[in-house]
Amino acid sequence: MKLLEFPHSHYCEKARWALDSKGLKFQAIALMPGYHIFTVRKYAQDTSVPVLLDAHHAVQGSSAIIDYLDNKYPSYLLSPKDPQQLAYCLQLEEQMDKIMGENIRTILYYSLLAYPKFIRHCFTHSMPRVKQGIFQIFYPILRKKIYKSYVISEEKYNEARYNFEQAMEEIAQIIAQQPYLLGDQFSRADVSIASMLSLLVMPEQHPFPWQDVPDKQAREFLNSYKGHPVFKWTENIYQKHRIRS
């Protein structure tokens, strides 16, 4: 199996985690941003990663990848079997993939796009030097594209800060009562939300080689959540459940 990815992407981390949790061997293939659309479009309708390639199947999107893997490899399930729990789980996953996942991306890119070396590391650390050089050359174009797609404006940044905070409080209320988002059972909801927060927590069990964040505003944002119960919960979930195959 192959996973088309951007190494630092929290949605790609979610897909990798699902593969690892089932003990499946796969090759993660980092794509060059911008050019990725030509590769991804060979297999899928949209241009986004992750995309899982398994024999004759191409599965795009982190949630669809979990659906596919649970269906094909049911001996260890991430989806709950009970239909009511499943409906709640999928709704929470979808909501938090959006509110946590999209907003943390906006917040971090807002400050960090000004640091080409840092962004180059995020996308190309596993690539040969020549590709890193190509990334550097095209970065000014890519920077504008990322800003336009994911940051948009200062107003959107402020909205993202507010919405992210609300989502953190919502999750804090759930995990105050129970160890996992569905109660006593570890599930895809935990994988999803912990993955969305991997960019905040930067856990050591995560396969990405984290670098120090070069920007003061971004550092202040990250540090402001260090004592938060959901930050600690994410660290614990990573420690207990992020086993790499």
Ligand X SMILES: N[C@@H](CCC(=O)N[C@@H](CS)C(=O)NCC(=O)O)C(=O)O
For residue 202, is it left (φ>0), alpha (ψ between -120 and 50) or beta? left
Instruction: Using the minimum distance from each CB to ligand X, give the nearer residue, 48 or 234.
Output: 48
38, 47, 74, 214: residue in contact with ligand X (rule CB under 6 A): 47
Residue in 3, 4, 7, 9 binding ligand X, rule: CB under 6 A: 9
Name residues contacting ligand X, limited to 123-142 (CB under 6 A).
none
Could you say whether residue 192 binds ligand X (CB under 6 A)?
no
- To ligand X, the closest distance from the beta carbon of 168 in angstroms equals 19
Q: Please, what is the minimum distance in Å from the beta carbon of residue 98 to ligand X? A: 8
Q: Which of 62, 103, 111, 234 binds ligand X (CB under 6 A)?
A: 62
**How near is the Cβ of 60 to ligand X at its closest, in Å?**
7
Task: Please tell me whether residue 7 binds ligand X under the rule CB under 6 A.
Answer: no
* Reduced 3-state DSSP string for the chain: CEEEECCCCHHHHHHHHHHHHCCCCCEEEECCCCCHHHHHHHHCCCCCCCEEEECCEEEECHHHHHHHHHHHCCCCCCCCCCHHHHHHHHHHHHHHHHHHHHHHHHHHHHHHCCCHHHHHHHHHCCCCHHHHHHHHHHHHHHHHHHHHHHHCCHHHHHHHHHHHHHHHHHHHHHHHHCCECCECCCCHHHHHHHHHCHHHHCCCCCCCCCCCCCCHHHHHHHHCCCCCHHHHHHHHHHHHHCCCC
Selected binder of ligand X within 4, 7, 11, 142 (CB under 6 A)? 11
Chosen residue from 4, 19, 20, 63 binding ligand X by CB under 6 A: 63
Residue 234 contacts ligand X per CB under 6 A: no
Angle among Cα 139, 141, 147 to the nearest 5 degrees reads 95
Stretch that binds ligand X, among 42-50, 151-159, 198-206, 213-221 (CB under 6 A): 42-50
Does 103 engage in binding with ligand X (CB under 6 A)? no
Give the range of 48-56, 152-160, 177-185, 231-239 binding ligand X by CB under 6 A.
48-56
**Which of 4, 6, 69, 171 touches ligand X by CB under 6 A?**
6
| Nearer of residues 145 and 226 to ligand X, judged by Cβ | 145
- Least Cα distance to 164 among 105, 214, 111 occurs for 105
Binding residues for ligand X, rule CB under 6 A, total: 12
Site residues, ligand X (CB under 6 A): 6, 9, 11, 37, 47-50, 61-63, 97
